[in-house]
Chains A and B, each alone.
Chain A
Amino acid sequence: MIYEEVTSGSRTRRTLTGAASVLFALQIDGPLVVGLALIAAFGLVVLYSASGQSTATVVRTALRLLLGTIAMLLLARVNPNFLRRSTPWMYALGCLLLLIVVAIGHIGMGAQRWLNLGLFRFQPSELMKLAVPMMCAWYLHERPLPPGWTSLGLLSVLILVPVGLVAIQPDLGTAGLIAIAGALVIILAGLRVRVMVALLALAAVGAWFGWSFMHDYQRKRVLMFLNPQTDPLGAGYHIIQSQIAIGSGGVFGKGWMNGSQAQLEFLPERSTDFIFAVIGEEFGLLGLLLLLMLYMFVVSRAIYLATQTQDTFARLLAGSLALTFFVYVFINAGMVTGLLPVVGVPLPLVSYGGSSVVTLLAGFGILMALYSRRKLIGS
């Protein structure tokens, strides 16, 4: 009896050790991967219901997740120093591709966000979600922190050029996210509080200025946010229906595939930007709390990893990637619950479509690469 217990116990230990060694070999952080996997799995379950029981949608998303995972695993093995050195090239390439997209958009018909590479469509703005914070971290790597005025000026240019190019596509949501990713690097670098206040004031002026340059549909979204009831069947419809979906879900939800708002298509964009409302309707408050807990766990773990890295580039980049992930979650949840205006930001790892899944997982790959190499750098 005793002997058996001991052997079984040791077998378990051995297996764990085995798994850990595999993770170590892949230079992957176990808790982070588990957190991401749980979110993705929950996402696929919800997506099956939210897409109206479309197996094809679920399979396509699973394939994208697989692609993202491969990107993550590959990037996790890259040497951070190589990553840092190639950053300016990546940034320059991204800007060039954005210029091409804008040019094609001008020549062709109307808005365009992607490049057709034959095999797949590629959105250069997705690349910039990673390239901009990388560029900012690269710039600050060798310089003393907190950054001075000259640095700030240069960083602003580094951020605003790609942001501007994305904004005129026009893709205001992504442009904002890229700007936030860059800004987070600067904030983490120790930007002084009084400078932040000054910049916020500047942003307010900029917002007023931006308003005059906005497209009609973009303005409408902002106005709808302020008062969704003014146009219940027009642009305000999204917000009203998503609040009905979430509110009617109650604490326990209506059950998987039983959300009337989602299943009967009252909820628009149910499988993409508004999938958060589907979870709220079918899995209730408990389902949303579980999801938010998973997200918080992933973000906390990512920030912890960031604090454990040992050079400026790694720290700033990892921190920015972790916080950007949270910003995605907050903006999406905020817009679906009516706290924020409706901007086209998907719920990370859960919403259907787009190359964002790949970008997100690639970001986590970079984060793990930065973390796992800390000892190598230290030695």
Chain B
Amino acid sequence: MPAVRIKDHWREQRLFDQRALICVAIMGLATVGLIVRLFVLQVSRHDYYAELSQGNRVRNEPIPAARGLILDRNGEVIAGNQPAYQLELVPEEVPDMQQTLTRLAQLDLIRAEDVDELERTIGSSRRFDSVPIRLRMSDEDVARFAVRRFEFPGLDIKTRQTRWYPNAELAVHALGYVGAISEQDLKHIDRAAYAGTSLIGKLGVESAYEHELHGANGFREVLVNAQGRSVERQGAFVPNLRTKAPGAGEDLLLSIDLKVQRTAEAALAGHRGAVVALDPNNGDVIALVSLPGFDPTMFGRGITASEYGVLQSDIDHPLFNRALRGTYPPGSTVKPVIALAGLTYHVVDPQAHRYCAGAFHLPGSSRVFREYHNEHHGSVDLDDAIARSCDVYFYGLADLLGVDRIATFMAPFGFGRGTGIDIGGEKPGILPSRAWKAKAFSRPADRVWFPGETVNFGIGQGYLTVTPLQLAHYASIIATRGKIWKPRLVAAYRDPRSGQIRRVPAVPEGEVTGIAPEDWQRVVHGMIGVTTRGTAAAIGAHAAYTFAGKTGTAQVFTVGQNEKYNAKLISERLRDHSWFIAFAPADEPRIALAVLQENGGAGASAAAPIARKVLDAYLLGADGKLKPQT
């Protein structure tokens, strides 16, 4: 039987007081713990949390920098910026999205087939962000929308800067274009620097000088709430937000002379081909033409799939930069350098005559190497052989030199490697040699160099291929009797604010050494002969200056041993490519160029007249006389 417990009030009071005391002590400890926690948060780690809170509330809105202008050497704008109108929509302000889009389609302001796509885009955007739904509106579109503005709450017309190419296709292959930033581009750009920009340079100068043209984006700090909506104030005061003005990109002054460029493009118009003109004294690119071209503006405004498809499938490949990437056999345009090799290696006496009967028989072989059009030049010396482009003479000379000496000698003239021009995409071409052939082919039987290949090499046929840029570069090396300059398109930068011009120094690449001055003179004399009494005499007639040139005809289609070449009988696409290289004035050269007309036939008839027009455009004043040297 348990003992009956009696209530002891005094003891219970004491017990309670004791317990209360313990509770107060625990309470005190808990409070101290809390205060320690507050101290950690608000004192020790204050900086950390202050930064996090700043990051929470302030968003940087990028202000894109104006892209630098691109001007030609006379200050004419090649690429500029132009405000374009676009229709934008704020989703949360549109009462009925479906109906709004349908109505816009009815008004032909958006395309009916784009409605679904647009709805998806709008659905994935934030409710309060402006979404562009139509880019590059014409003035007429703007007017059509403006009168119905009241029907469309939440829609507005905004302006933004777009790239503008006032000359459309002119010089597009030198210039490149700007287009939407691709996945590929994102790999090698600083994303932060491109926030707020949707376009980036593609190809040509726009791409190679992207860094200079792009400039530095500015930013505007915007107060945002938890949903990311920008708000004007927070609580009672408007916080101090920073703004950094964008630094506009630098303007580029190209070495291109648009007048010459226009002349060249007009002269080549309707054909496929390329013209590259250089200043042999510093490597300045005076003109760089590749036809056909395309209008770069359509990439900047957002090229449609069908437009791109048309460009892609065009049989003339307008997107293909022939000047830098087209590789062709140079044909007879190599004869000057073969002649120089013969003179330098002393395998030929410049005064000695050889007899040309229209064909060359390689000793110990039954193979016949024919003269172009089966001409008979009769007795020719070196000078004549260049001027009249005698294949038989050069077949023999090449055979005497041998392939390795020719390849070694030609290398310093830029064959087989890129010229180092300041835009990308250049192809190196092929400078064949025994070593090259041993590597280039997989079948052992193909790796052997045949004597007949050396013979063809002498007239620029066979494995040797060059780009028009390489040939122009080579012409300019002959023009300066061996001086080598790296070709460049950008001659100077211009600060867009101060207008201060910073010249880009020309880049010397050394000299071709070991060639006697009289040998240079002999070859140049032969080349002057080309335009005075040789293959291009008709073109050189009545020129206000003396100029040196060389025609070339590159075979596309191999004519059988016993057949005759008849341009009329073969398809246009299989006709020979027509080349012409030149520099002028011959003694004090200011311009060197290479002209290629694909399937143009003989060099003298297609390419040479174009070259003459380009030379005239560059060298002659309004009075038709040679401009004084500046």
**A residues apposed to B, CB below 8 Å:** 49, 53, 142-146, 148, 184, 187-190, 241, 243-251, 256-261, 263-266, 280-281, 284-285, 288-289, 292, 296, 299-300, 303, 306-307, 312, 315-316, 319, 323, 326, 330, 333-334, 337-339
Contact = CB atoms under 8 A, between A and B. Distances in A.
Given A285-B39, A323-B23, A337 B53 contact: no
Contact of A256 (B16, B30, B48, B236): B236
B1 interface: no
B233 to A, nearest CB: 9
A152 to B, nearest CB: 14
B41 A337 contact: yes
Nearest to B236: A257
B38 A246 contact: yes
B242 interface: no
A190 B12 contact: yes
A188 B13 CA distance: 10
A333 B34 contact: yes
Contacts of B208: none
B49 A246 contact: yes
8 contacts: A145-B12, A249-B42, A251-B42, A280-B38, A285-B39, A315-B16, A326-B30, A330-B30
Contact of A265 (B39, B43, B48, B227): B227
B50 interface: yes
B5 interface: yes
Contact of A326 (B27, B50, B223, B236): B27
A248 B226 CA distance: 16
A145 B42 CA distance: 45
Interface of B: 5-9, 12-13, 15-17, 19-20, 23-24, 27, 30-31, 33-35, 37-39, 41-43, 45-46, 48-50, 52-54, 56-57, 223-227, 231, 234-237, 239
Question: Chain B at the A interface: mostly helix, strand, loop or mixed?
Answer: helix
Contacts of B31: 292, 296, 330
B240 to A, nearest CB: 12
B27 A299 contact: yes
- Ranked nearest first, the 7 interchain pairs of A and B with the lowest CB-CB distance are A247-B49, A257-B235, A248-B53, A144-B5, A264-B225, A260-B57, A263-B235
Contact of B234 (A264, A333, A338): A264
B52 A244 contact: yes
Contact of B42 (A246, A323, A333, A338): A246
A319 B16 contact: yes
B20 A339 contact: no
A244 B56 contact: yes
B16 A188 contact: yes
Given A145-B12, A250-B50, A258 B234 contact: yes
Residue of A145, A187, A258 contacting most chain B CB atoms (<10 Å): A145
Question: Chain A at the B interface: mostly helix, strand, loop or mixed?
Answer: helix
B52 A190 contact: no
A260 B43 contact: no
A187 B49 contact: no
A191 to B, nearest CB: 9
Nearest to B41: A247
B39 A142 contact: no
Contact of B41 (A184, A246, A260, A296): A246
A285 B43 contact: yes
A324 to B, nearest CB: 11
Contacts of B15: 145-146, 189-190
Given A248-B53, A256-B236, A266-B57, A190 B16 contact: yes
Nearest to B12: A145
Contacts of A259: 235
Nearest to B19: A188
B16 to A, nearest CB: 5
A247 B33 contact: no
A244 B20 contact: no
Nearest to A264: B225
B42 A284 contact: yes
A284 B41 CA distance: 10
A320 to B, nearest CB: 10
A326 B236 CA distance: 33
Contacts of A296: 27, 31
B39 A303 contact: no
B27 A251 contact: no
A265 B223 CA distance: 12
Nearest to A140: B12
A312 B43 contact: no
B49 A307 contact: no
Contact of A339 (B34, B46, B226, B231): B34
A46 to B, nearest CB: 13
Residue of B5, B8, B23 contacting most chain A CB atoms (<10 Å): B23
Given A250-B42, A264-B57, A266-B226, A258 B237 contact: yes
A184 B54 CA distance: 43
Nearest to A326: B27
Given A145-B12, A258-B235, A303-B23, A264 B226 contact: yes
B56 A289 contact: no
Contacts of A281: 53
B50 A260 contact: no
A243 B17 CA distance: 38
A362 to B, nearest CB: 22
Nearest to B233: A263
Contacts of B45: 247
Given A190-B16, A289-B35, A339-B34, A250 B46 contact: yes
Nearest to A253: B42
Contact of A266 (B33, B49, B56, B231): B56
A303 B24 CA distance: 8
Contact of A247 (B7, B9, B48, B227): B48
B56 A285 contact: no
Contacts of B239: 260
Contact of A334 (B34, B35, B54): B34
Contact of A188 (B9, B20, B27, B33): B20
Contacts of B8: 144
Contacts of A264: 56-57, 223-226, 231, 234
A249 B226 CA distance: 18
B35 A292 contact: yes
A289 B37 CA distance: 12
Nearest to A49: B235
A326 B31 CA distance: 10
Nearest to B4: A144
A146 B19 CA distance: 11
Contact of A250 (B23, B43, B56, B226): B43
Contacts of A244: 49, 52-53, 56
Contact of A251 (B20, B43, B237): B43
A323 B27 contact: yes
B56 A292 contact: no
Contacts of A187: 19, 23
Contacts of A312: 7, 9, 12
Contacts of A249: 42
A264 B227 CA distance: 9
Given A247-B50, A258-B234, A258-B237, A337 B226 contact: no
Contact of A285 (B5, B38, B50): B38
B463 to A, nearest CB: 63
B53 A245 contact: yes
B86 to A, nearest CB: 30
